[in-house]
Copies of this chain bind each other. A is one copy, B any other.
């Protein structure tokens, strides 16, 4: 049974990854680490995850012996840890943005100077529905951002037909992370809905990169605006697509075919709510051809902490170790 650690397990996504691996039938979770909370028990920080382990300082001599790691560090801080683990032969799924963008200049325009540009080439973009085979052979997987996960699953089947795309995204507050801020204060978020990152959200280049890879025209720039909603987990992307040419098929049929064999994508007739996918690795999608405007609407719902982060990381780990892709993901 491969041994695995979660590095950075005190944040929301790291902690959830630890929970999933602790219950996983084919991995042995041997340690959880944290810089800020070393010494505390994970089941004290997150009682509902019920992971009976104490958080440790990351110790590469010891932790570098494992077979695999999920790294849940902030952007910029992740790359050095990933590099050190890779040097020791550890297979890594990285939850940060550090290895998602193929173009280091683009990365540095949106984030920080890249600490390990040499590793970018080796990284596989971990959206299994697009890169399943590459993930199987990968040593380093860059787990997609939550918004790109939902948006790409919603738009990739239409990639060759996209003339213009508006994505209006909605996310629960857990997407803003565990840090207590004015934004995450209950009184700020409750009974409220607010657009944020207007015109400059970091997930935009990631979405564009992968839509281009899927066949969208090079000049396409997706319009993307996220909104903060008063709920804890859940993310909905509402995509309004102007087609460059007719699809030739019923739009729902296009999606049904595209995802016919996907264990974690559900194509449905009625627009999904985020509650439909809460606490699952499922992305639920409905498409609608709008006769009145000629546009195609696509709605995709995920749990931002699950398919948008931690359970997708486990799905990737399953593939990297040639396990059943659905193992430990509870469906």
Contacts and interface: CB of A to CB of B under 8 A. Distances in A.
A90 to B, nearest CB: 29
Contacts of A225: 238, 240, 297
A172 B232 CA distance: 16
A221 interface: yes
Contacts of A277: 47-48
A194 B50 contact: no
A227 interface: yes
Contacts of A172: 191
A273 interface: yes
Nearest to A197: B271
Given A173-B186, A185-B186, A275 B229 contact: no
A47 B280 CA distance: 11
A28 interface: no
Interface stretch (A100-108, A145-153, A285-293): A285-293
Contacts of A290: 199, 223
A192 B273 contact: yes
B278 A48 contact: yes
A1 interface: no
A240 B166 contact: yes
A223 B240 contact: yes
A91 interface: no
A191 B234 contact: yes
A154 to B, nearest CB: 12
A193 interface: yes
B185 A185 contact: yes
Contacts of A47: 268, 272, 275-277, 284
A166 B225 CA distance: 12
Contacts of A295: 166, 223
A196 interface: yes
A180 B184 contact: yes
A276 to B, nearest CB: 4
A190 B194 contact: no
Interface in A147-184: 164, 166, 168, 170, 172-174, 178, 180-182, 184
A84 B168 CA distance: 45
A181 B181 CA distance: 8
A242 interface: yes
A236 interface: yes
25 contacts: A23-B330, A47-B268, A48-B278, A50-B280, A170-B170, A170-B193, A170-B227, A172-B191, A173-B186, A184-B186, A184-B187, A186-B190, A186-B230, A190-B190, A191-B231, A191-B278, A193-B236, A193-B274, A198-B271, A199-B290, A199-B297, A204-B292, A223-B240, A225-B238, A240-B240
